[in-house]
Amino acid sequence: MIALTSMAQQANQPLPAGFQLDEYCIEKQLSLGGFSIVYVATDGQGQRVAIKEYLPNTLALRAEGKTAPIISEEHLPAFRYGMKCFFEEGRALAGLAHPNVIRVLNFFRANGTVYMVMEYEEGCTLQELIQNNPGRVTENFIRNVFTKMLNGLREVHSHRLLHLDLKPSNIYMRNHHVPVLIDFGAARQTLACDAPMLKPMYTPGFASPEHYSQQRDLLGPWSDIYSVGASMYACLAASTPVPADIRKARDELKPAMVLWDGKYSDQLLETIDWCLCLNERYRPQSVFALQKALTEPVVAPDPPPKDNWLGQMVGRIRKSRDA
Amino acid sequence: MKFTIYQETRIGKRANNEDRLAHCYSRDALLTVVADGMGGHYYGEVAAQIAVQTLTEAFKREFKPRIRDPFMFLQKGMLNAHRGILDFAGKHHLQDSPRTTCVACIVQNNVAYWAHSGDSRLYLLRNGKVLAQTKDHSRVRLLVDQGVITEDEVLSHPDRNKIYGCLGGQQTPEVTFSHKVTLEAGDVLVLCTDGAWSGLPGDILAIALKTADLLRAVPLLLGQAEARGGPTADNLSMIAVRWQDTYSDGSSGGSSVISTRTMPRDTVTTKMDEFGRNPQSRTELTEAEIERAIEEIRSTIQKYK
């Protein structure tokens, strides 16, 4: 995703329901971002799809009742430049075929801008799921969802890509139970950005510390892993963790081990804290390492001491050992 | 690989810009090319365009993700460009085939390999000094080597524009190859046409680019060279690369540093101006580029369906 540093904010009008866009018929607007509008539409076979329309709020204005956006002469270079990033998202996704990564079905040009067609299935984002069912966030749920989601992320990394905007609202729960990575708007193959008017955007709370700093060359799989840790933390806390730039100045993020001791296994809580290390070298360095930690069998807590003299002895010895 | 790179070409005071330049890089290899189409010949800019295009296209075909034999690559690339120019002349029934100089450089595994034909130059600058430079295939260069004229007389010599190495001429082109040179962090490679170097002595270039931000310094240098060219200033072009590898941090350049570490192994990023287009807007996509990008994405989708 791209943010434009100094331009007035304007609201863009979505295409109306029933609008025939190429071979697709628009049903409704799904979401509106600073950079694009996402619609639900049906294709010629009646199949539902999601269509993302490149429409940077600050550069292109679509007035009510109009189809093509108005782009001033002055904004055209920036508009075209942003299009490059939209293409990069398309390129990134087109080469990925994985059940835990959103599939791109088509890509086309119309109305003076470009469109990306993606699969659409019933479901909701992980964020919505957790907000609506706080009771569902069990140890097993977290391990299940994140282990599966990490299969997708592993595929992304194996293509030498980074997602760079992982968070619960970018994990879509297909049919409410299969996690799928969506929104690759921040994904980069090469981090070179030569236009000073555009800067990459990140989500505070989920972006890694190296994402904030100018040292873009520190970004790596471990940066996405920080975001995975932050997402797990957010699931347990039902709120966004302290942003990394604030943590770097003064780290007030309470470790998961402290907050949820006894409610979840030590091993899960330790893994979350591991991902959230500020120093990128101390985190799991690969998705595989993290997955290994998440799928390791949980060490059962010590059984309560048996109520006989032998059990009491054993209990006493354990205590003195642990002390 | 980590580096900063900047390229710019200017028309000078001529009616036509016959200089062409391009660079492209994969995760592990970088190619830079500069060609100067010959003014006295028709279609000079076509010859120059064929040269940079032939080399960049070969790069896109042959990196995997490195070039197997960089010197062989440069030799083949230049000879193919030469033949391409002759073919073009034949196809269009030109009486005299167009010609171009060419200098090209490959950097991979921290080692630079370059080759040139004609009087477009490569300078390797280290610590504010010229560490290496190509030797022009020109009459005046021979005269200097034979001690007939001095270095200072070169720029005013009547034969200063006569060159004997070029692509597209009657003879098989003369191509001179460098040695392998291991680069150090902070080294600067400069490829330029005679319009640029004739107004900029090598030692000045070395000092000016020692630590400066290339994105700012190169336009300033070209401005100086253009001013020195006076009312008949030739086309002038320059590609400058500052090598930042060897894992030293805190080097200048900031966010403009290109790091290829996160690139997929099978892609190439190319910077080459479209033929006949005025290279003023570096960030804007052309219609053709948009169409190409969409086509590329669609074909990838098809492949993975």
Residues A276-319 pLDDT 10s: 999 999 999 999 999 999 988 776 555 555 566 666 666 666 66
User: What are the residues facing B101 on neighbouring strands?
Assistant: B36
**Residue A12 placed within a domain:** no
Residues of A in contact with B269 (CB under 8 A): 190, 192
Q: B70-91 vs B44-62: helix axis angle to the nearest 10?
A: 140
Separation between Cα atoms, residue B283 and residue B271, nearest integer Å: 11
Confidence of residue A2 (pLDDT cuts 50, 70, 90): very low
* Residue A35 DSSP label: S
- Count CB pairs under 8 A between chains A and B: 94
Q: What is the distance in angstroms between the Cα of B114 and the nearest Cα belonging to chain A?
A: 25
> Can you give the pLDDT at residue A212?
80
Nearest CA in chain B to A98: B304
**Residue B64 placed within a domain:** yes
Residues A103-119 pLDDT 10s: 999 999 999 899 999 99
Chain B CB within 8 Å of residue A110 CB: no
**Residue B297 placed within a domain:** no
**Chain A interface, best mutation among B7, B278, B301, B304, by max A CB count within 10 A:** B301
In this predicted structure, the answer to whether residue A256 has a pLDDT above a threshold of 90 is yes
In chain A, % of residues over pLDDT 90: 47
Chain B CB within 8 Å of residue A159 CB: yes
Distance of CA A95 to the CA centre of its chain: 19
Identify the domain boundary among A85, A119, A153. A119
Chain B CB within 8 Å of residue A7 CB: no
* Residue B138 DSSP label: B
> Can you give the pLDDT at residue A121?
82
Amino acid at B254: G
Is B263 in contact with A108 (Cβ distance < 8 A)?
Answer: no
**Residue A323 placed within a domain:** no
Q: What is the distance in angstroms between the Cα of B118 and the nearest Cα belonging to chain A?
A: 32
Q: Give the H or E element holding residue B293.
A: helix B287-304
**Residue B170 placed within a domain:** yes
Chain B residues within 8 angstroms (CB to CB) of chain A: 2, 27, 249, 254-265, 267, 269, 281-285, 290-291, 293-294, 296-298, 300-301, 304
**Chain A interface, best mutation among B284, B295, B305, by max A CB count within 10 A:** B284
Task: Tell whether A183 and A216 lie within a shared domain.
Answer: yes
User: What are the residues facing A199 on neighbouring strands?
Assistant: A3
Task: Tell whether A212 and A98 lie within a shared domain.
Answer: no
In this predicted structure, the answer to whether residue A215 has a pLDDT above a threshold of 90 is no
Q: Which of A81, A91, A114 sits opposite B283 (nearest CB)?
A: A81
Residues of A in contact with B282 (CB under 8 A): 194
Query: For chain B, how many structural domains are there in total?
Result: 1
In chain A the beta strands, taken as DSSP E runs, fall at 2-4, 20-21, 24-32, 36-42, 48-54, 60-61, 70-71, 104-110, 113-119, 123-125, 171-174, 178-181, 198-200
In this predicted structure, the answer to whether residue A62 has a pLDDT above a threshold of 60 is yes
Residues 6+ positions from B69 with CB-CB distance below 8 Å? none
> Can you give the pLDDT at residue B137?
92
Task: Tell whether A173 and A219 lie within a shared domain.
Answer: yes
Task: Tell whether A69 and A208 lie within a shared domain.
Answer: no
> Can you give the pLDDT at residue B290?
86
Residue B1: strand, helix, or coil: coil
- As a residue count, chain B comes to 305
Task: Tell whether A161 and A268 lie within a shared domain.
Answer: yes
Task: Tell whether A87 and A218 lie within a shared domain.
Answer: no
Task: Tell whether A70 and A108 lie within a shared domain.
Answer: yes
What are A11-18's contacts with CB under 8 Å, separation 24+? A11/A57, A12/A37, A12/A55, A12/A57, A12/A60, A12/A61, A12/A62, A12/A69, A13/A62, A13/A63, A13/A64, A13/A65, A13/A66, A14/A39, A15/A39, A15/A53, A15/A67
Instruction: Domain of residue B215: give its range.
Output: 2-274
Residue B176: strand, helix, or coil: strand
In this predicted structure, the answer to whether residue A67 has a pLDDT above a threshold of 80 is yes
Average pLDDT over residues A53-59: 82
**Residue B16 placed within a domain:** yes
Identify the domain boundary among A119, A137, A156. A119
Q: Nearest to residue B117, comparing CAs of B136, B132, B99?
A: B136
Average pLDDT over residues A163-192: 80
**Residue A11 placed within a domain:** no
Please, how many CA atoms are within 13 Å of residue A214, restricted to the half-sphere of its CB? Answer: 9
> Can you give the pLDDT at residue B52?
95
Q: Which of B257, B267, B294 sits opposite A109 (nearest CB)?
A: B294
Query: For chain A, how many structural domains are there in total?
Result: 2
Residues of A in contact with B245 (CB under 8 A): none
**Residue B214 placed within a domain:** yes
Nearest CA in chain A to B258: A192
Q: Contact, B192 vs B175, CB < 8 A?
A: no
Nearest CA in chain A to B284: A77
Between A11 and A245, residue with greater pLDDT:
A245
Is B262 in contact with A194 (Cβ distance < 8 A)?
Answer: no
Chain B CB within 8 Å of residue A236 CB: no
Q: What string of DSSP letters covers B80-121?
A: HHHHHHHHHHHHTT-SS---EEEEEEEEETTEEEEEEESS-E
**Residue A170 placed within a domain:** yes
**Residue A1 placed within a domain:** no
Q: Give the H or E element holding residue A141.
A: helix A139-158
Query: A59-63, A212-216, A270-274, B21-25: which has the minimum mean pLDDT?
Result: A212-216
Confidence of residue A50 (pLDDT cuts 50, 70, 90): very high
Task: Tell whether A133 and A89 lie within a shared domain.
Answer: no
**Residue A305 placed within a domain:** no
Residues 6+ positions from A228 with CB-CB distance below 8 Å? A146, A149, A150, A153, A166, A275, A290
Residues of A in contact with B259 (CB under 8 A): 190-192, 216-217
**Residue B192 placed within a domain:** yes
**Chain A interface, best mutation among B256, B266, B268, B297, by max A CB count within 10 A:** B297
Q: Which of B255, B267, B294 sits opposite A216 (nearest CB)?
A: B255
Average pLDDT over residues A75-85: 79
Chain B CB within 8 Å of residue A187 CB: no
Q: What is the distance in angstroms between the Cα of B303 and the nearest Cα belonging to chain A?
A: 8
What are A213-220's contacts with CB under 8 Å, separation 24+? A214/B254, A214/B255, A215/B249, A216/A191, A216/B255, A216/B257, A216/B259, A217/A191, A217/B2, A217/B257, A217/B259, A217/B261, A218/A280, A219/A162, A219/A164, A219/A191, A219/B262, A220/A162, A220/A280, A220/A285, A220/B261, A220/B262
* Residue B153 DSSP label: G
Nearest CA in chain A to B255: A214
> Can you give the pLDDT at residue A104?
92
Q: Are strands B236-243 and B2-10 parallel, antiparallel or unpaired?
A: antiparallel
Tokens of A145: 């969802």
User: Is residue A242 classed exposed, middle or buried when 0-12, 13-18 and 19+ CB atoms within 10 A define those classes?
Assistant: middle
Chain B CB within 8 Å of residue A71 CB: no
User: What are the residues facing A125 on neighbouring strands?
Assistant: A172
Q: Nearest to residue A38, comparing CAs of A23, A19, A52, A59?
A: A52
Average pLDDT over residues A198-203: 59
Task: Tell whether A156 and A261 lie within a shared domain.
Answer: yes
Task: Tell whether A44 and A153 lie within a shared domain.
Answer: no
**Residue B262 placed within a domain:** yes
Q: Give the H or E element holding residue B296.
A: helix B287-304
Residues of B in contact with A119 (CB under 8 A): none
Is A188 in contact with B27 (Cβ distance < 8 A)?
Answer: no
Q: What is the distance in angstroms between the Cα of A255 and the nearest Cα belonging to chain B?
A: 31
> Can you give the pLDDT at residue B275?
56
**Residue B281 placed within a domain:** no
Residues 6+ positions from A209 with CB-CB distance below 8 Å? A226, A244, A245, A247, A248, A278, A280
Chain B CB within 8 Å of residue A90 CB: yes
Q: Are strands B111-117 and B176-177 parallel, antiparallel or unpaired?
A: antiparallel
Is B304 in contact with A220 (Cβ distance < 8 A)?
Answer: no
Nearest CA in chain A to B6: A194
Q: What is the distance in angstroms between the Cα of B35 and the nearest Cα belonging to chain A?
A: 24
Residues of B in contact with A77 (CB under 8 A): 281, 283-284
Please, how many CA atoms are within 13 Å of residue B237, restricted to the half-sphere of its CB? Answer: 31
Q: Which of A80, A107, A214 sits opposite B284 (nearest CB)?
A: A80
Residue B106 maps to which CATH number? 3.60.40.10
User: What are the residues facing A298 on neighbouring strands?
Assistant: none
**Residue A140 placed within a domain:** yes
- C-alpha distances in Å from residue B239, one per residue of B33, B101, B111, B118, B272: 8, 15, 18, 17, 11
Nearest CA in chain B to A216: B255
Instruction: Domain of residue A248: give its range.
Output: 125-295
In this predicted structure, the answer to whether residue A193 has a pLDDT above a threshold of 60 is no
In chain A, % of residues over pLDDT 70: 82
Task: Tell whether A133 and A267 lie within a shared domain.
Answer: yes
Residue ranges of chain B with per-residue pLDDT less than 70: 39-42, 245-256, 273-284, 305
Is A80 in contact with B301 (Cβ distance < 8 A)?
Answer: no
Q: What is the distance in angstroms between the Cα of B207 and the nearest Cα belonging to chain A?
A: 25
Between A165 and B117, residue with greater pLDDT:
B117
Residues of B in contact with A107 (CB under 8 A): 294, 297-298, 301
**Residue A134 placed within a domain:** yes
Task: Tell whether A156 and A281 lie within a shared domain.
Answer: yes
Of A142-156, A194-208, B212-226, B245-259, the range with the highest mean pLDDT is A142-156
Residue A37 maps to which CATH number? 3.30.200.20
Confidence of residue A241 (pLDDT cuts 50, 70, 90): very high
